[in-house]
Amino acid sequence: MNGQKSSQTALRQPAPLLSPNGWRGLIVASIFICVLAPITNLWLPESSRLHLSDYAVALIGKIMCFAICALAMDLVWGIAGVLSLGHGLFFALGGYMMGMYLMRQIGRDGNYHSDLPDFMVFLDWKTLPWHWALSDSFVATLFLIVLVPGLLALVFGFFAFRSRIKGVYFSIITQALTFAAMLLFFRNETGFGGNNGFTDFKRILNIPIATQSMRMTLFVLTGIVLLGFFLMARYIVQSKFGRVLQAIREAESRVMFCGYSTLQYKLTIWTLSAMMCGVAGALYVPQVGIINPSEMSPANSIEIAIWTAVGGRGTLIGPIVGAFLVNGTKSWLTVVAPSIWLYFLGLLFIAVTLYLPNGVIGLIKKLTGSRT
Amino acid sequence: MNPELMQSGTKRLAAYKETLTQSPVVNTAAGGSMSMGRPHRSGELDLVHGRILYLEDVSVSFDGFKAINKLSLDIAPGELRCVIGPNGAGKTTMMDIITGKTRPDEGVVYFGSTIDLLRHTEPEIAAMGIGRKFQKPTVFEKLTVFGNLELALKTHKDVRSSLFFRLNSEQIDRFSEVLHTIKLKEYVHQTAGNLSHGQKQWLEIGMLLMQEPRVLLLDEPVAGMTDEETARTAELLLQLKGKHCLVVVEHDMKFIEAISDIVTVLCDGAVLAQGPLAKVAADERVIESYLGR
């Protein structure tokens, strides 16, 4: 009788969002992002040993954007088993939406002192093309950052999933999609600055963008978004929705037989994931100061998959760790020995696939012997 | 209207209600057991004529080979029917036809007295309450026992409901009941992949039970089980008898002996003999074609 009661309460209580250690880690991360990083970067003198250099802020800020992409990738690939090799496109689209707004914020301070962005003057355009209509408004831009990648993902995903395109075929099509978009954006006629893209940003919300405090603001914002998305992803995975996605990963036809519309489920997580990438791109562009079509190159999208695999698929925290590990190594290696980076990346991917199917997180769990 | 009349009326009503609670499988929605002058509601299971599955003269052939040859079956609600027969007798094909996986060339297949199963698709038939357990256990190995059962639970299955899904107390009772029936209470939070073969089979039966089926089709439920597991499965099926209609295909004669009332022997796609096991086992033709001497 007692046993029955305890199992009933176990069923009633929803699983905790994070383990106690998870909460501790989250608090440490938030303290670092919101308190320690601003203090050590802005107020400690550069001579101090604890000073956080501007270079480090820029690098970590950038990697946090990548980590958001990796997290988004984990939701579709690690949890639902849909490998996308086109997530760079959604990242770039979010970036372009932000870039358009930043271009308009330059105002008359460009090289040609025109109301139009420089590249349009260069192309001898007299008025803004139609798709720049909302670029003036920051609020509209915020909406577009999630809506444009989301809508593209929704339409593309609907047709792909409805046609039951799965596995490697789906991956190849996403790859083709981002490649096609890259070719489109390379053209000057498309109205996104051709191969130069957007750069030379001056202001955001009429505040100068290239100051130390603005960089720190963007850094903190990115960090908060990353942690927020992580919690959201945790909630999704702990919910029944997440369990259905995992079941789809294992045996989609059987889930369908249980009465679930797997199309709906896959489409939801796929679109959500694309939106997350869009937000990451929008945070990335003001921090690095440039967006151009090379962000849509297939190699970039493949890298996102590599971060996820290196960290550990389906673990949520793993891809974030993976993004930091791989990009940290990248920024170090490209300084020390620039020519071997690509070889290293290839070897890393092979090694992880062969020896670490569960990534770094899987390795740590194996070593510490913790369960699940 | 006098008090005596009213009293007797209340008594009769109470007695009637009691008969309803005693036999939950009796169809009450269309006005008790009256068979005439009743409105027919489409899609509703009609058990008035005492049959839940009815196959008549069903034939199906694959490339000229008659897998099922004028097969007729009549199964009552709450019955536990065992189907035996040599390999290739058409036992699995019969289940394929009932669940809509295979379309027969001719014949009729009815669920209750009014639902023509040949007009429905596989998922529709599953949703109507015909659950099937395949030979190989097909649980979701990476999910926990809880996750597997939850997936099968009869509830709203759209994305939004799943995202904010919480078990209500009724569903928790259902969980406890099923977990108790399939004896996996202590394993609720274990990954299904770690269960033994027998436990996986029970879990799959549990998943079927979560869908509150009217008919359960079980294809070799004790294949590969140890003797003890087989005995416990027999116990489990006897427990389900009456509440659900069970159709069991099995080769294990000891198991059949433990659970059967009526046994149907299939041979070459048609019914060879039918009746209690002792009677069937004594039948010359059955001994000839299946049991051996």
Choose the most confident range, by mean pLDDT, from A151-155, B40-44, B99-103: A151-155
Residues A246, B140: C-beta atoms closer than 8 Å: yes
Residues A243, B150: C-beta atoms closer than 8 Å: yes
Q: Rounded distance, CA A160 to CA A254, Å?
A: 20
Q: DSSP letter at A239?
A: S
pLDDT at residue B21, as a whole number: 60
Nearest-CA distance B167 → chain A (Å): 7
User: Which residue, among B99, B121, B155, B162, would best test binding to A if mutated, counting the most A CBs under 10 Å from its CB?
Assistant: B162
Chain B residue whose CA is closest to A263: B159
User: What are the residues whose beta carbons fall under 8 Å from the beta carbon of A332, sequence distance 6 or more?
Assistant: none
| Residue A198 domain flag | yes
pLDDT at residue B261, as a whole number: 83
Print the SS3 string covering chain B.
Answer: CCHHHHHHHHHHHHHHHHHHHHCCCCCCCCCCCCCCCCCCCCCCCCCCCCCCEEEEEEEEEECCEEEEEEEEEEECCCCEEEEECCCCCCHHHHHHHHCCCCCCCEEEEEECCCEEHHHCCHHHHHHHCEEEECCCCCCCCCCEHHHHHHHHCCCCCCHHHHHCCCCCHHHHHHHHHHHHHCCCHHHCCCEHHHCCHHHHHHHHHHHHHHCCCCEEEEECCCCCCCHHHHHHHHHHHHHHECCEEEEEECCCHHHHHHHCCEEEEEECCEEEEEECHHHHHHCHHHHHHHHCC
**Residue A93 near residue A141, CB atoms below 8 Å:** no
User: Residue A8: its chain B contacts at CB < 8 A?
Assistant: 172, 176
Tens-digit pLDDT profile for residues B67-125:
899 999 999 888 899 999 888 888 889 999 998 888 999 999 999 888 899 988 887 88
**Mean pLDDT within A154-178:** 95
Residues A240, B165: C-beta atoms closer than 8 Å: yes
Nearest-CA distance A3 → chain B (Å): 9
Q: Rounded distance, CA B1 to CA B163, Å?
A: 57
Q: DSSP letter at A290?
A: E
Chain A residue whose CA is closest to B153: A258
Residue ranges of chain A whose CB lies within 8 Å of a chain B CB? 3-4, 7-8, 10-12, 14, 236, 239-241, 243-244, 246-247, 249-251, 254-261, 264-265, 268, 372
User: What are the residues whose beta carbons fall under 8 Å from the beta carbon of B223, sequence distance 6 or more?
Assistant: B135, B251, B252
Does CATH place domain B47-291 in 3.40.50.300?
Answer: yes
**Least confident span in A83-87, A327-331, B218-222:** B218-222
Please say if the pLDDT value at position A346 is more than 80. Answer: yes
pLDDT at residue A372, as a whole number: 46
Residue B216's beta-bridge partner residues? B131, B246
Residues A246, B150: C-beta atoms closer than 8 Å: no
ipTM: 0.83
Residues B185, A247: C-beta atoms closer than 8 Å: no
**Angle between helix A87-105 and helix A298-311 axes, rounded to 10 deg:** 120
pLDDT at residue B64, as a whole number: 84
**Mean pLDDT within A177-196:** 94
Mean pLDDT score of chain A: 92
**Mean pLDDT within A200-215:** 92
**Least confident span in A46-50, A67-71, B135-139, B274-278:** B135-139
User: Which residue, among B159, B161, B177, B212, would best test binding to A if mutated, counting the most A CBs under 10 Å from its CB?
Assistant: B159
Nearest-CA distance B188 → chain A (Å): 8
| Residue A100 domain flag | yes
User: Residue B162: its chain A contacts at CB < 8 A?
Assistant: 239-241, 244, 265
User: Residue A244: its chain B contacts at CB < 8 A?
Assistant: 151, 162
Q: Which two tokens stand for residue B293?
A: 């001497």
Please say if the pLDDT value at position B31 is more than 60. Answer: no
Please say if the pLDDT value at position A243 is more than 90. Answer: yes
Tens-digit pLDDT profile for residues A77-108:
999 999 999 999 999 999 999 999 999 999 89
Mean pLDDT score of chain B: 84
Rg (chain B; Cα; Å): 21
A17 phi and psi angles, rounded to 5 deg: -60, -45
**Mean pLDDT within A61-69:** 98
Indicate the number of domains in chain A: 1
pLDDT at residue B26, as a whole number: 47
Please say if the pLDDT value at position A1 is more than 60. Answer: no
User: Residue A259: its chain B contacts at CB < 8 A?
Assistant: 123, 126-127, 157
pLDDT at residue A2, as a whole number: 44
Which residue in the block uniquely carries the two structure tokens 């926990």? B144
Q: Decide the pairing of beta strands B270-275 and B262-267.
A: antiparallel
pLDDT at residue A295, as a whole number: 94
User: Residue A240: its chain B contacts at CB < 8 A?
Assistant: 150, 162-163, 165
Chain A residue whose CA is closest to B166: A14
Band of the pLDDT at B223, cuts 50, 70, 90? confident
pLDDT at residue B23, as a whole number: 53
Nearest-CA distance A94 → chain B (Å): 26
**Residue A182 near residue A296, CB atoms below 8 Å:** yes
Tens-digit pLDDT profile for residues B245-292:
999 998 888 899 888 888 999 988 889 889 898 888 888 888 887 766
Nearest-CA distance A189 → chain B (Å): 41
User: Residue A239: its chain B contacts at CB < 8 A?
Assistant: 162-165
**Mean pLDDT within A247-267:** 89
Band of the pLDDT at B16, cuts 50, 70, 90? low
**Mean pLDDT within A18-34:** 94
Q: Rounded distance, CA A243 to CA A240, Å?
A: 5
Note down the domain range covering A333.
Answer: 53-368
User: Residue B122: its chain A contacts at CB < 8 A?
Assistant: 257
pLDDT at residue A182, as a whole number: 96
pLDDT at residue B40, as a whole number: 63
Chain B residue whose CA is closest to A254: B138
Task: Count residue pairs from A and B with Cβ separation < 8 A.
Answer: 82
Chain B residue whose CA is closest to A235: B163
| Residue A103 domain flag | yes
Name the nearest CA neighbour of A302 among A267, A259, A353, A338.
A353
For residue A12, give the nearest of B158, B165, B172 by CB distance: B172
**Mean pLDDT within B20-31:** 51
Tens-digit pLDDT profile for residues B151-209:
988 888 889 999 999 888 889 998 999 999 898 989 998 999 999 988 999 999 999 89
